[in-house]
């Protein structure tokens, strides 16, 4: 399981995550919502271990092991994988070479590339000249190939056309269900992806702070209807014993 305790994260001198604690149990998927700039990407980059995101306070545990301070590659080997919101272009490395490097035994490149409409992309440099949707599908095939136990999805449906959202959603669901106990953390603005992947719980990040953990569909509905600021107030009311959803 993933356990985050009182995590505070700084980037470029600014605290972007403040005192966040959350747990994802084995087999659970959590949806993470929040306005632009609220720290969602920073949170998952810190879980993955990118060194730009420095941990000021708190700890991260994965399957009972403290991973705070571990390198990204070590965390990847332990079974944590990420689908980036905006991955870099890697000139000189082809998509096929990357998949060969990270794939688990039994992964069928041709078949899966066909399934994700990526056959012609296997021989291209990673993300070089790819459209928004192509980048997302390329990210997804890499995640599928490496088959992590914990998948961190950063806005998997953004830039993906309506026709391909089903494709992306179904592959995400396969990744999360491939092995017993797989876990997921999904950042989304729209919730379109919930037609294909059912999160067990949801949470809201506003201004780097976690404000609510609860039923993901209820949270999404409330945010759509009333906005994030209201959601924070709602939590305040609940604490006073006056629940209103």
Ligand X SMILES: Nc1ncnc2c1ncn2[C@@H]1O[C@H](COP(=O)(O)OP(=O)(O)O)[C@@H](O)[C@H]1O
Helix (H) or strand (E) holding 132: helix 132-146
How far is Cα 74 from Cα 27, in angstroms, rounded to an integer?
Answer: 22
Kindly tell me which of 42 and 147 has the beta carbon lying closer to ligand X: 42
Pick out residues in 154-173 that bind ligand X (CB under 6 A): none
Check binding of 40 to ligand X (CB under 6 A). Answer: yes
Interface residue with ligand X, options 21, 25, 37, 69 (CB under 6 A): 37
Kindly tell me which of 40 and 75 has the beta carbon lying closer to Mg ion: 40
The DSSP 8-state label assigned to residue 149 in this structure reads S
How near is the Cβ of 33 to Mg ion at its closest, in Å?
11
Kindly tell me which of 85 and 138 has the beta carbon lying closer to Mg ion: 85
How near is the Cβ of 177 to ligand X at its closest, in Å?
26
Pick out residues in 81-140 that bind Mg ion (CB under 5 A): 85
How far is Cα 69 from Cα 188, in angstroms, rounded to an integer?
Answer: 27
Site residue total, ligand X (CB under 6 A): 12
Site mask, ligand X, residues 4-33, x = CB under 6 A? -------xx-x-x-----------------
Radius of gyration of the chain (CA): 18
Kindly tell me which of 34 and 191 has the beta carbon lying closer to ligand X: 34
- Residue 34 interface partner, choices ligand X, Mg ion, none, CB cut-off 5-8 Å depending on type: ligand X
Check binding of 41 to ligand X (CB under 6 A). Answer: yes
Residue 60: strand pairing partners: 4
Check binding of 34 to ligand X (CB under 6 A). Answer: yes
161 within 8 A of 136, measured Cβ to Cβ: no
How near is the Cβ of 145 to ligand X at its closest, in Å?
25
Check binding of 41 to Mg ion (CB under 5 A). Answer: yes
Residue by residue, DSSP assigns 58-104 as EEEEETTEE-TT--HHHHHHHTEEEE-SSPPPEEEEEHHHHHHHHPP
Burial of 189 (0-12, 13-18, 19+ CB in 10 A): middle
How far is Cα 81 from Cα 99, in angstroms, rounded to an integer?
Answer: 13
Kindly tell me which of 4 and 45 has the beta carbon lying closer to Mg ion: 45
Kindly tell me which of 37 and 227 has the beta carbon lying closer to ligand X: 37
Site residue total, Mg ion (CB under 5 A): 3
- E-strand ranges in the chain read 2-11, 14-24, 29-33, 54-62, 65-66, 80-83, 90-94, 125-126, 150-154, 183-187, 201-206, 209-214
How near is the Cβ of 153 to Mg ion at its closest, in Å?
11
Start-to-end C-alpha separation, the chain: 29
Residues that bind ligand X (CB under 6 A): 11-12, 14, 16, 34, 36-42
């Amino acid at each position: 399981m993933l356990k985050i305790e009182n995590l505070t994260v700084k980037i470029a001198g600014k605290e972007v995550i403040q005192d966040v604690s959350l747990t994802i149990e084995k087999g659970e998927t959590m949806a993470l919502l929040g306005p632009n700039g609220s720290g969602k990407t920073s949170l998952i980059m810190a879980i993955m271990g990118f060194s730009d995101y420095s941990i000021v306070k708190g700890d991260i545990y994965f399957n009972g092991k403290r991973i705070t301070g571990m390198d990204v590659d070590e965390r990847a080997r332990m079974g944590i994988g990420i689908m980036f919101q905006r991955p870099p272009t890697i000139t000189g490395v082809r998509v096929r070479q990357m998949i060969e490097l990270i794939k688990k035994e039994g992964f069928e490149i041709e078949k899966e590339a066909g399934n994700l409409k990526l056959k012609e992309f296997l021989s291209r440099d990673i993300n070089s000249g790819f459209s928004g949707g192509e980048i997302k599908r390329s990210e997804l095939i890499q995640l599928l190939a490496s088959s992590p136990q914990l998948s961190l999805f950063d806005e998997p449906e953004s830039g993906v056309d309506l026709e391909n959202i089903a494709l992306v959603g179904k592959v995400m669901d396969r990744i999360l269900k491939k092995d017993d106990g797989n876990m997921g953390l999904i950042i989304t603005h729209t919730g379109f992806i919930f037609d294909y992947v059912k999160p067990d719980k949801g949470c809201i990040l506003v201004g780097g702070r976690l404000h609510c953990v609860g039923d993901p569909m209820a949270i999404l509905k409330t945010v759509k209807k009333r906005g994030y600021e209201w959601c924070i107030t709602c939590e305040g009311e609940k604490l006073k014993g006056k629940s209103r959803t």
